[in-house]
Amino acid sequence: MSKKDLVLTDIFTKCQTKNDFVFDNDLVKFYCKKHSFGNPFDVTKLDDTSKFPNIMLENDFFLLHLGEGRHQFVKGISKGFHYFEEIEEIAEWKYRKSILNEFDTSESNILSIGFNQRIIQDFLYEDIIANPKVYFPRRTKSTIDYFVDDQHIQTSNLQMEIDLTMELNDDVTIFEGKNKFPDNFAVYQLFHPFLYYQKSKAEKQLNIKEITCCYLLRKKEQGNSIIRVYNYTFTDIDKMASIKLLKSKQYNLVQR
């Protein structure tokens, strides 16, 4: 068991014993010190279920962030983590490799490739010369509330990271990028920014027609990049588990 798993196991056991599944960063730091784990901020970052300690898998709990240094274990992993659907549409995508395409494996680089090679334009707008406005990675805070099944989740000044946002003809698309092909992902990564923009729309701060979310994945196989793009929406803006796939496509990049 890794040190991170040990820290999470102790935190979960403590919460289970108290029958109170909300905890704060002070408790995280306490158990990090106990197990000599040097990065307390990494403990609650669980992008996919492969990073879960056994105790969370066995008891069917996942983690949500509540803001202001607070977190919560929530029952029902299938309500908070979504398995990527099998992709049926696959395209061979010819391109001229840029000197910076494979320079690093950051999320920003992956999304830049998708945009610069006109993959995002083809996927989202079915028009490779479409010219959406691009808003680069940012962090923002918002107070939002929603449901996981019947459980009400309340946040306060919740910090969220948005990898990329695009807008065309008043339609807004939120992007998350990863440099791997995980089996599943934490729905809150898309849902929290989705709610942030929905809240701005409802309060008439932004005149948005439609908000959707995209997950863009890149993996290298035999020296060539494969990019998968998934477009999601939420059929009930108050419920995180209402995530719905709109379309998906795989692009096999072939150098000219």
Beta strands in the chain, from DSSP E residues, in sequence order: 22-24, 61-67, 70-75, 81-83, 90-95, 133-135, 138-142, 145-148, 151-154, 158-162, 164-168, 171-178, 184-186, 210-221, 224-234, 243-255
- State the average pLDDT over residues 141-160: 96
Give alpha helix (H) positions in the chain. Answer: 3-18, 25-34, 54-59, 77-80, 107-116, 119-120, 188-202
List, for residues 184-205, the tens digit of each pLDDT value. Answer: 999 999 999 999 999 998 888 8
pLDDT at 127 over 80: yes
- Tens-place pLDDT, residues 26-64: 999 999 999 999 999 999 999 999 999 999 999 999 999
pLDDT at residue number 1:
85
Outline where 138-238 has alpha helix (H).
Answer: 188-202
Average pLDDT, the chain: 94
pLDDT reported for residue 97: 79
What confidence score (pLDDT) does residue 95 get?
Answer: 85
φ, ψ dihedrals at 124, nearest 5°: -75, -45
State how far the Cα of 178 lies from the Cα of 181, in Å rounded to an integer.
Answer: 8
Alpha-carbon dihedral angle through residues 34, 35, 38, 40, given to the nearest 10 degrees: -70
Taking only the tens place, the pLDDT of each residue in 99-108 is 877 777 788 8
Residue environment code for 205-244, b if the CB has 16+ CB neighbours within 10 A, otherwise e: eeeeeebbbbbbbbeeeeeebbbbbbbbbbeebebbbbbe
Burial of 80 (0-12, 13-18, 19+ CB in 10 A): buried
- Rounded distance between C-alpha atoms, residue 231 and residue 197, angstroms: 16
Beta bridge partners of 249: 229
Range in 94-103, 110-119, 190-199, 209-218 with the lowest mean pLDDT: 94-103
**Owner of token pair 């196991």:** 9
Structure-token match 């028009």, residue found: 127
Predicted structure pTM score:
0.94
